[in-house]
Amino acid sequence: MDHNPNLKPWKRPEPNQVAGKGRIENPDEVENIVHQTRPSPPTEYENRLGEALMEIFDSDVNQLPEIVTSLNEMGVKSPDGKPWSEESFRLEMRRLGA
C-alpha cells in the first residue's frame, strides 16, 4: 500500500503542564517530517516529477537553475503544462510539502 486511507488530520498535541508527566520533548520545538503519511496514492504527475528529480540529483545537479533547466530538457512540465521556472518550481515544492 502506498498511502494511508485511514489517515486522520494532524492535531497538535497538548503538552502536559505537570513536570515529569507526558511528553519528553516540547512538540513545538521538534521537527516532524511527514513521510508515507499521505491520504491518497501519488498521482502519475507526482511520480513522474519524483522520478525526474531523482535522476537529476543522481547526476549531481543540485542548484535550482540547473534543476529547472534539467526538468525542462527532460520534457517534464509544470502542473499547468508550461515549462518550469524557478518560481513555479519553488511554488510546486511548497505545495507538495517538500
For 24-46, write each residue's pLDDT tens digit: 666 667 666 665 566 778 889 99
Distance CA 4, CA 23 (A): 25
pTM tops 0.75, yes or no:
no
Q: In terms of pLDDT, which residue wins out, 7 or 59?
A: 59
Cell numbers 496514492: residue? 41
